[in-house]
Chain A
Amino acid sequence: MTGAALLAGPDPRDGAEGFAAHTARLGALPSGRHGLIDTLERAGLRGRGGASFPTATKWRSVASRRGDSVVLVNGAEGEPLSQKDRVLMESRPHLILDGAVLAARATGARQIVHYIGAAHAGALAAMRRAINERPDAERRLMRLVEAPQRYVSGEETAAVHFVNDGTALPTALPPRPFERGVSGRPTLVQNVETLAYVALIARHGDAWFRAVGGGGSSGTALVTVSGAVPAASVHEVDGSAVIADAVNLAGGLTSDSDAVLLGGYFGSWVPATRAWALPLDVGALSKRGLSLGSGVIGVLASSDCGVEMSARIAMYLADESSRQCGPCTFGLRAIANAMRRVATMQAGVDDLAHVQRWAGLLPGRGACRHPDGAAIMVRSALQVFADDFSLHVREHRCIVPAAVARAA
């Protein structure tokens, strides 16, 4: 159930593993020039930034372009409920750097840009130190760019845009980053956890990766458990673990809970009765129409109102819209406003029906997936908290007594 692959070795809380210790523990970096992409494909490695896109496919699309490419290491981690990328950067920076060097070799890149959230001071310091410990030939390829603290900063076209001209806003597709990215070159944008796994798969092989996943489809995964637990914390679990296991690793429930937000602010609310037994495996979740997203498990305490929480998240996502595309600028804002009216017992008769219809109009109608992700959260909230939503609208009261007191 608990996995120890990415976080194997010294206790992650003791800080960054240095280059010498890293190399002594895992051996030198393999050349990885030949066949690494095939190995990643056999392993079935998928991206850990949220979209779960097959890594080998992404690398091939960059490697097949002409001319030098660029590797953009994505450690922006703008998801408010996620801490796993930070924990990894702070504790295992050399796994990430190994993966970045391997990615550069496999895709023909001569530049590696480390794009790290400006607010993540510990991660920035650890990555800076780690870069300086690398051999000259590698260090020369690398630079570090601080990502602005916005939700969209980590979106891959926004990341490329910021590195190019200091604007962390998504751009219209095409061209996609693999076609024209940093400095107009084919660019591989890859999450730090994904790259760390590349460093391990290059050493241990694809069969090892499948085995370490505990029968799941995706190796181990880093998850952040927050909400009704003693403190938000990051854990490594394999595909045999269920949500209840992750919650136990985080110290267990501090109160009853009726629902879990799985995947992050772009994720789905799941009723607790169904959530506890859900396997933390990308493949198994996707069969159930769910996504592990960036590994977020947000446990809603039963003293918190799901309607209010969902309205706050919708408001946050509307605030964080880059306001470039109409459906997101106006549609998501209207949804958030209507949800807030419902949550504060000021809903009009049509508000709920409007939210339902507008949420259906968000997917596929932005340059990036911001509206799509918001729609997933909103629609799952309407489903999971259906009774509570209708109570708010019809009777201006809430299932949770404490929340009524707050709203009054």
Chain B
Amino acid sequence: MVAQRITVNRIACDGHGLCAGVLPEMIKLDDWGYPIIEARGVPRELMEHARRAVDSCPMLALHLEDRR
């Protein structure tokens, strides 16, 4: 199975920051509350949290994509 990575639509993202709360292992916030996302594929053990992080975004800006 191909590891998926987390991507964000930077225009849609408003910096609510909920994603970093749900998946702190891979998402940090910068000084203005915008996500800094690790580029690596989501490890299997974090997959459930990653899905919840994606679902938590009020702007629907976060996505899981097949790694290219």
Question: Which residues does A use to contact B, with CB under 8 Å?
Answer: 170-172, 324-327, 330-331, 334, 358, 361, 365-367
Contacts and interface: CB of A to CB of B under 8 A. Distances in A.
Contacts of B34: 325-327, 330-331, 365
Q: Report whether over half of chain A's contact residues are helix, strand or loop; otherwise say mixed.
A: loop
B22 interface: no
Contacts of A366: 10
Contacts of B30: 326-327, 331, 361
Query: 8 closest Cβ contacts across the A-B interface?
Result: A326-B34, A325-B10, A330-B32, A324-B11, A172-B11, A172-B9, A367-B10, A326-B15
B24 interface: no
Contacts of A172: 9-12
Contacts of A365: 10, 34, 36
A266 B63 CA distance: 29
Nearest to A358: B31
Q: Report whether over half of chain B's contact residues are helix, strand or loop; otherwise say mixed.
A: loop
A31 B59 CA distance: 49
Interface in B1-56: 9-15, 30-34, 36
Nearest to B30: A361
A390 to B, nearest CB: 23
The bracket for how many chain B residues form the interface is 10 to 19
Nearest to B37: A365
Contact of A331 (B9, B13, B32): B32
A216 B34 CA distance: 43
B59 to A, nearest CB: 11
Given A358-B31, A361-B30, A326 B13 contact: yes
Contacts of B33: 326
A366 B10 CA distance: 6
A327 B30 CA distance: 8
A265 to B, nearest CB: 21
A327 B12 CA distance: 12
A324 B32 contact: no
A199 to B, nearest CB: 34
Contacts of B36: 361, 365
B6 to A, nearest CB: 13
A46 to B, nearest CB: 22
B28 to A, nearest CB: 10
Contacts of B13: 325-326
